[in-house]
Amino acid sequence: MAKPKSQAIQARRIRPTIHDVAKAAGVSIATVSRALNSPDSVRKELRERVVAAADSMDYMADSVGKALRRQRTQIISTMLPRLADPLFSAVASAIQETLEENGYLGFVQTSGFDNTNLFDRAKRLIEHGTEGLIIFGRIDDQRLLDYCRAHQLPLLSAYSYFEKAEVPTIGFDNYLATRQLVEMLHTLGHSRIAMISGSDKGNDRQQSRIRAFRDINAELGQEPVIEFTHMDFDMADGGAALRRIMENHPETTALVCNRCVIAFSVMVEARRLGIAVPEHLSLTGFDDIDYAALFDPSLTTVAVPSEKIGRAAAKAMIAHLETGAPLGSRRFETEVILRRSVARPRATA
């Protein structure tokens, strides 16, 4: 009789297995598994012996073995542009919490602001057993779309909402939100409105906001005034953009900044230039980060229901995995938060 070949692997991790528990409790591994997973199916006395043995050695069933057998990992991964950004991290945080509450776990990976090459970055997530993928923003990588379709990997686009998208989207509509904001300014009497945007390259949020602004201007028969500004992390140089606008379009009475940080830096520069906000120039930001209320003057912005979006995205994905309910799109409302940085336009000549 050939003695069994031994292929012992040096264990990195000294963790008791179900075999250790079985031996300690004097039962088979099947009984251990049942005692822990469906306690009713094993006699009280044995069950207690098993539980005692398991507790005494801090036994935790290894999810890797479990995942292999069950063909379920309970892992849902998220890709987002940048984690160190209050806009996104609020949503990501809500996702992670919702996952945890429902027995799932999530990988988080940053994608940068370019969604065209997602597949390669998502690969490792998929390899590691990701059952569902939540991606912030519009997904521009055809390979990823094809892969997910071919292999039935549920894919959800979160944060931004799109009227027509290749995959279900859960989020808010940047186009609509910007329209709301600009129309509010119109209602107040502003007719000369300029926009300062961050780079719109690969950034669906800026793209939608710009498109909304252009559309409104077109409807009014005006030439849109848009300046771009470099944004680095949480800093933006809105100052230079402000100077360009003031020089080339001094008739401007309201300035729509596509991110709060842009508005903040514009405010600093305005103060330096002696431009009174809001008396001479009304100013708005976007995404109502908490600091917006603390600036002087406090900043008018669009509030985004980040937490709701995150929870909804995670819940939708979980429901899909567990009940097969189809992944649907969902649009969340934004709200214009009117603060002191906006007033009626100054009297123009």
Q: Which of positions 7-26 make contact with a second copy (CB under 8 A)?
A: 9-15
Site string for a second copy, 313-342 (x = CB under 8 A): --------x---------------------
Nearer to a second copy, 212 or 270 (CB): 270
- What track of x and - describes contact with a second copy for positions 157 through 176 (by CB under 8 A)? --------------------
Beta carbon nearer to a second copy, 48 or 62:
62
Q: Which long-range contacts (CB under 8 A, 24 or more apart) does 316-325 make?
A: 316/156, 316/168, 316/170, 317/76, 317/132, 317/134, 317/154, 317/156, 318/76, 318/98, 318/99, 318/102, 318/104, 320/132, 320/154, 321/76, 321/131, 321/132, 321/154
Q: Tell me which residues in 72-91 interact with a second copy (CB under 8 A).
A: 72-73, 75, 82-86, 89-90
> Cis omega before residue 39 (within 30°)?
no
Q: Which residue in the set 23, 29, 140, 240 belongs to the binding site for DNA (CB under 7 A)?
A: 29
Nearest Cα neighbor of 146 from 112, 113, 122, 114 is: 122
Count the residues of the shown chain that bind DNA, applying the rule CB under 7 A.
36
Residue list 32-71, contact with a second copy (CB under 8 A): 58, 60-65, 67-71
Q: Residue 41 binds what, of DNA, a second copy, none (CB under 5 to 8 Å, by partner type)?
A: DNA
* Residue 4 touches DNA, criterion: CB under 7 A: yes
19-28 contacts, C-beta under 8 A, 24 or more apart: 20/57, 20/59, 21/50, 21/53, 21/54, 21/57, 21/59, 24/53, 24/56, 24/57, 25/49, 25/50, 25/52, 25/53, 25/54
In this chain, which of 10, 12, 24, 27 binds DNA, going by CB under 7 A?
27
One residue of 2, 150, 347, 349 binding a second copy per CB under 8 A: 150
What does the binding site for DNA look like in residue numbers (CB under 7 A)? Answer: 4-9, 11, 17-19, 27-34, 36-37, 41-43, 45-46, 59-62, 64-66, 68-71
